[in-house]
Amino acid sequence: MNARVRDGVVVHSRRSVLKTSLAGIGGLSLPALTKARAEGKTKSGNKAVILLWMTGGPSHIDTLDPKPDMPREIRGPFKTIATRLPGVRICEYLPKQAAMLDKFTLIRSVDCRFSNHEPNMVMQTANLANEPRTNPKARYYPSFGSIVAKHRGANHPSMPPYVVLNMKSRSHVAWGGYLGTQYDPFDGNGAARAFQLPAGLTMDRLRSRRTLSQQMDGLRAELDATGMMTAMDSFGQKAVDVVAGGRAQDAFDLSKEPQKVRDRYGEHDWARQALLARRLVERGSSFVTIDLSNHSASGTWDTHGDNIPPYGGIWNGLRPLLPVFDHVLTTLVTDLEERGMLDDTLVIAMGEFGRSPTLGTQGSTDGRNHWPFVMSMSLAGGGFRHGQVIGASSRDGGEIAERPVTPGDLAATIYHHMGVPLDATYLDHQGRPNYIVDQGAPLREII
């Protein structure tokens, strides 16, 4: 819950960085990916998903589903502005998205009743039983990205299919679960540093089998001991080759991007992660999640109240964050469109739930609490029909009023886009099949 407490995988050395990056060797889908490629099981094309994960639960009322006619304790402190879509208004601090809302679909009726956060699982797996606080098996339900990695793989054999960027805590994202650790996300944080080779170690030397064997013996033993890697067969060798250099290394090197493009995104860490996500899908990754966690310079989505540190409320916690997010989202979508990548890339911006319809919860003056009854999200790209609003919340924003959209519907839409069979299953530890889509269908309004 405390966004300022360091959690999850903490890297202290180059050795641990490389180990961390390889721990999700399925994030690389290697050796599994290279085997699948060799057997012709992965799909061609450049379909991809970029998920902007708004960790903490963004307030729908103060962003995409404003209630300007309600009393201030419900509508909040922000004004609204007109958008490119006639009659549709959103928060005044999202002017860039408002100006290009014809490129987006807003969903104002997402059913998130079973979702919680820390760990954030339901909305990243579409499994309603995925609540680790009450269900000990919850951690085994695979993420969207893991299922895409298994059933589609990367769009290029030398790239990781499922990557997580800016991961502040392991509890912020979903993992491979029943699919196996080979489908865990590739930790982009560790990878960027792992590609910085020690002095005197050239790429040619690292690629040579003899030098590689000498360099990796200790790492291999540690991974074997933890059960992450039982053998360094030829496909495992390929996995190390990818981590050590080539196409993946190039993707993570933002210095190779033209300065004008870097300037366009800007120096904020989230903007740099968005540029990195574009570079990854451009070079062949198929699912990239950016963990948009609390940022000390920008605020937080987890707006419990100004007098409840470290969260902040709507004014001091959320207000500074919205222009940053507005810039990151619209710059990414515009960049993808200008490069001819938007039809192939589905961009999703969402959190794990909405916020309570009344200000002042938990003894605060301006905070909003977790609200798993309704939330809003936005979609762009993917070759879908956009420029519309799906669903609606009640007059006070506390309930779904029409067209509920379930986590299963979101999953089905993602898999439809990625060419993953909607009737695909995976086996649990007892060998029983589980459908990847439970009670959901692709959003008929956009396909």
CA distance 274 to 253: 13
Domain-embedded: residue 161: yes
Q: Where are the alpha helices (DSSP H) in 46-187?
A: 72-75, 95-99, 122-125, 144-151
Query: What's the pLDDT at 228?
Result: 47
pLDDT greater than 50 at residue 167: yes
pLDDT digits (tens, 9 = 90+) for 4-31: 333 333 334 444 444 444 444 444 444 5
**What's this model's pTM, rounded to 2 decimal places?**
0.85
| CA 280 to chain CA mean position, Å | 13
CA distances from 311 to 56, 238, 387 (A): 10, 44, 33
Query: What's the pLDDT at 118?
Result: 78
What is the pLDDT averaged over residues 411-429? 97
Task: Tell me the two tokens of residue 402.
Answer: 């029409």
What is the pLDDT averaged over residues 334-361? 97
Q: How many domains does the chain have?
A: 1
Domain-embedded: residue 315: yes
Domain-embedded: residue 424: yes
CB atoms within 10 A of CB 198: 9
Domain range holding 367? Answer: 14-435
Query: What's the pLDDT at 231?
Result: 39
Which carries the bigger pLDDT value, residue 70 or residue 41?
70
- Among residues of the chain, what percentage have pLDDT more than 70? 77
- Say which amino acid occupies 435: Y
Confidence band, pLDDT 50/70/90 cuts, at residue 242: low
pLDDT digits (tens, 9 = 90+) for 243-273: 555 788 899 999 999 999 999 999 999 999 9
Domain-embedded: residue 5: no
Domain-embedded: residue 21: yes
Strand ranges, E, within 17-68: 48-53
Task: Tell me the two tokens of residue 345.
Answer: 């890339």
Domain-embedded: residue 377: yes
Alpha-carbon Rg for the chain, nearest whole angstrom, is: 21
DSSP code at position 317: I
pLDDT digits (tens, 9 = 90+) for 294-327: 766 557 899 999 888 778 899 999 999 999 999 9
Q: Are 64 and 397 in contact (CB under 8 A)?
A: no
pLDDT digits (tens, 9 = 90+) for 98-130: 999 999 999 999 999 999 887 878 999 999 988
pLDDT greater than 60 at residue 225: no
pLDDT digits (tens, 9 = 90+) for 124-166: 999 998 888 888 888 899 999 999 999 999 999 999 999 999 9
- Among residues of the chain, what percentage have pLDDT more than 90? 66
Domain-embedded: residue 442: no
Query: What's the pLDDT at 229?
Result: 45
CA distance 57 to 302: 6
Query: What's the pLDDT at 296?
Result: 63
Beta strands 162-165 and 186-187 are parallel
pLDDT greater than 70 at residue 388: yes
Domain-embedded: residue 205: yes
Q: What is the CATH number of the domain that holds 146?
A: 3.40.720
